[in-house]
Amino acid sequence: MATEEQLRLSTIIKSCHDSLRMLTKQYGPEKAWQEHIKDGDRLREYAEAMHQLANIWEHNTTNQDLMARSRVKWTIEYCMAYFFSERIYLEKRLREQRLLESWEGYDCSQCQYLEQMPDKIKVLDVGSCFNPFGKSENFEVTAIDLCPATEDVLKGDFLKIQIENLLEPIMASETNEVISLPANYYECVVFSLLLEYIPSSDLRLQCCQKAYQLLKYEGILIIITPDSQHVGKNAAIMKNWRYTLGTMGFSRIRFEKLPHITCMVFRKASDPRIAQRWSELHKESYMELSIDIPQDNKTFDDD
């Protein structure tokens, strides 16, 4: 049962999303986004509400059920299994090699692989708010957000940030905002409760394309999206996400439906043709290049 404080914080968050949806209907997604990010008071209120609400969920050590559903805990555990304890990335590498060798006209000559694993996983947490992964001793985190709730999060609009051949992020001296991020640099990019914040499919596609550019080959994009419905309710949408990201060169390697969220992991394939061929073979008649969310077709009367 949600407490009065949880309901208050949830209302602030919902109001921010509703405001952005209304702006999008009025102006279109690009102009709506620009108007939205100018509203510093609303962004700060949203960031603080997200921070407080996350503290209730992520740090409630007295409730094991809440801990089991923690998106932060889930992300850390999968990263550890993928890169270290179970070395899942090597298992997926071997599978991709077998697939390529089994297809006529394909081979592994274009494959690109992770080099020796570093001591710490380089993680880019987009829409981080309060840097929930910063305390993990196995992560080297770059956390960015429109309106950071804590000092260890960098300010930046991911949709505007450039991707270049760099050794580290570049900040604008006059605003102290991130203006560029290094390409092919991160082992993991995290979109936790991010894509549903973005007001249109095209802008969400831009986010995913940027994640592809930022990741090393065999790196992973972790997407966590709110979903309180049963597992089949949004199945067609999730299948279309898989198809769309496959055309970019991402292979979905993990899907888990938890009580209020859906957790997915997409691997930057060692050869993009592997994921692209999967998309070609599994495309269904309704599928198109889009990252739609259930809220796209929601009216305010539905709320």
State the chain's mean pLDDT as an integer: 91
For the stretch 124-154, pLDDT in tens is: 999 999 999 999 999 999 999 999 999 999 9
pLDDT bracket for residue 300 (50, 70, 90): very low
Joined together, the tokens standing for residue 68 give: 């089991």
- pLDDT at position 58: 57
Range of 62-66, 72-76, 89-93, 232-236 with top mean pLDDT: 89-93
For the stretch 253-262, pLDDT in tens is: 999 998 889 9
- pLDDT at position 228: 78
* In the chain, domain spans: 1-67, 69-282
Cα–Cα distance, 270 to 95 (Å, whole number): 11
- CB-facing half-sphere around the CA of 143: CA atoms within 13 A: 20
- pLDDT at position 69: 55
145 is in an annotated binding site: yes
39 is in an annotated binding site: no
Which of helix, strand or coil describes residue 115? Answer: coil
For the stretch 174-218, pLDDT in tens is: 888 999 999 999 999 999 999 999 999 999 999 999 999 999 999
Ranges 14-18, 174-178, 269-273: which has the least confidence: 174-178
Q: Which of 189, 190, 207 is nearest to 198 (CA)?
A: 207
Q: Is the pLDDT of residue 64 over 50?
A: no
pLDDT bracket for residue 238 (50, 70, 90): very high
- pLDDT at position 42: 94
- pLDDT at position 59: 57
CATH number of 69-282: 3.40.50.150
